[in-house]
């Protein structure tokens, strides 16, 4: 099985184009199918399957031999779970948080694993830099928080509270109502998905610029360029650590905002 790593793909492109540095662009995200015959099986799809397997196996194995004195593996699994349950669900949603912990936990681990694929050697592609995946995740969150709100308050009362926020002078509604409706039904799902997508996309592009730029400088016949190329690589390594931070942060923010929206739908008045 041959994984097409974007770096390799680029090197071939560079050699073919011959002269001049070709800066990485959106084309670098269009990866060809792994097997010619199966058109839908591209690298991001494979990574999604891999992340599902990894997450399930890790948590099943870490929880299987649960003991009062936890092993290292059990401790790791339980720390992640406790983080999502206590810091994200309980602090944000309040007393009814336990119902939403499974969803939030799945969301957090799934997004985190897929993000971190961006800096794992040989995988090196953040799945979420293809906008379709964040769209689907945001659609899930969108349906969950609206469903929760409608179940809790009834359809009409829920919509009324969105459109006409209580405790506001009447003339302000002319301005406020369109904004509130747009916020709840358009801005929230769009920004939720686009934030994750844009961060992963920009991060991957940034890494490509520095690593491929360094590679190009190293292969340049000019000696000065060769000497300067380690600076590009050093920056590439530093940015990889920065990317790791961003990837964790984005998984956290995605889950936190979902929890916030659920909390908003559950609250009696906004």
Partner 1 sequence: MEGTLNLVGFGLSAIGPAIATGMIFAAYINGVARQPEARSILQPIAFLGFALAEALALFGLVLAFVL
Residues near partner 1 (CB under 8 A) are: 23, 25, 91-92, 187, 190-191, 194-195, 198, 253, 256-257, 260, 263
Q: Is the sign of the CA dihedral 263, 265, 268, 270 positive or negative?
A: positive
Least separation in angstroms between CB 92 and partner 1: 6
Nearer to partner 1, 124 or 258 (CB): 258
Shortest Cβ 151–partner 1 spacing (Å): 22
Residue 26 CB, shortest distance to partner 1, in Å, is 8
Buried b / exposed e along 92-113 (16+ C-beta atoms within 10 A): bbeeebeebbebbbebbbbbbb
Least CB distance to partner 1 at residue 253 (A): 7
Nearest to partner 1 of 53, 187 (CB atom) = 187
Q: Which DSSP letter does residue 170 get? A: G
Residue 3 or 256 having the CB closest to partner 1:
256
Question: Cα–Cα distances in Å, from 97 out to 73, 141, 214?
Answer: 26, 15, 49
Residue with Cβ nearer partner 1 (3 or 194) = 194
Instruction: Report in angstroms how near the CB of residue 63 gets to partner 1 at its nearest.
Output: 28
**Which has the closest alpha carbon to 55: 108, 100, 3?**
108
The encoded tokens of residue 267 equal 């609250």
Give the three-class secondary structure for 39. Answer: coil
For partner 1, the closer CB: 58 or 140: 140
């Amino acid at each position: 099985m041959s994984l097409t790593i974007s770096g390799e793909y680029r090197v071939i492109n560079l050699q073919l184009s011959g002269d001049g540095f070709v800066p990485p662009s959106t084309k670098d995200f269009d990866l060809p199918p792994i097997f010619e015959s199966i058109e839908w099986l591209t690298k991001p799809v494979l990574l999604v399957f891999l992340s599902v397997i990894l997450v399930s196996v890790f948590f099943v194995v870490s929880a299987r031999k649960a003991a009062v004195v936890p092993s290292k593996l059990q401790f790791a699994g339980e720390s992640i779970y406790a983080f999502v349950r206590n810091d994200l669900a309980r602090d944000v949603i309040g007393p009814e948080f336990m119902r939403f912990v499974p969803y939030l936990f799945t969301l957090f681990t799934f997004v985190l694993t897929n993000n971190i694929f961006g800096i794992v050697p040989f995988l090196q592609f953040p799945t979420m830099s293809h906008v379709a995946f964040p769209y689907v995740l945001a659609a899930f969150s969108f349906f969950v928080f609206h469903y929760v709100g409608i179940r809790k308050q009834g359809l009409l009362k829920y919509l009324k509270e969105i459109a006409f926020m209580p405790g506001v002078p009447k003339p302000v509604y002319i301005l406020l109502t369109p904004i509130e409706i747009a916020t709840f039904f358009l801005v929230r799902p769009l920004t939720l998905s686009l934030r994750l997508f844009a961060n992963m996309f920009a991060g991957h592009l940034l890494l490509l610029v520095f690593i491929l730029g360094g590679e190009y400088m190293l292969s340049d016949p000019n000696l000065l360029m060769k000497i300067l190329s380690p600076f590009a690589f050093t920056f590439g390594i530093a940015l990889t650590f920065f990317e790791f931070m961003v990837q964790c942060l984005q998984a956290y923010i995605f889950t936190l905002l979902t929890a916030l929206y659920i909390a908003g739908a559950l609250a009696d008045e906004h």
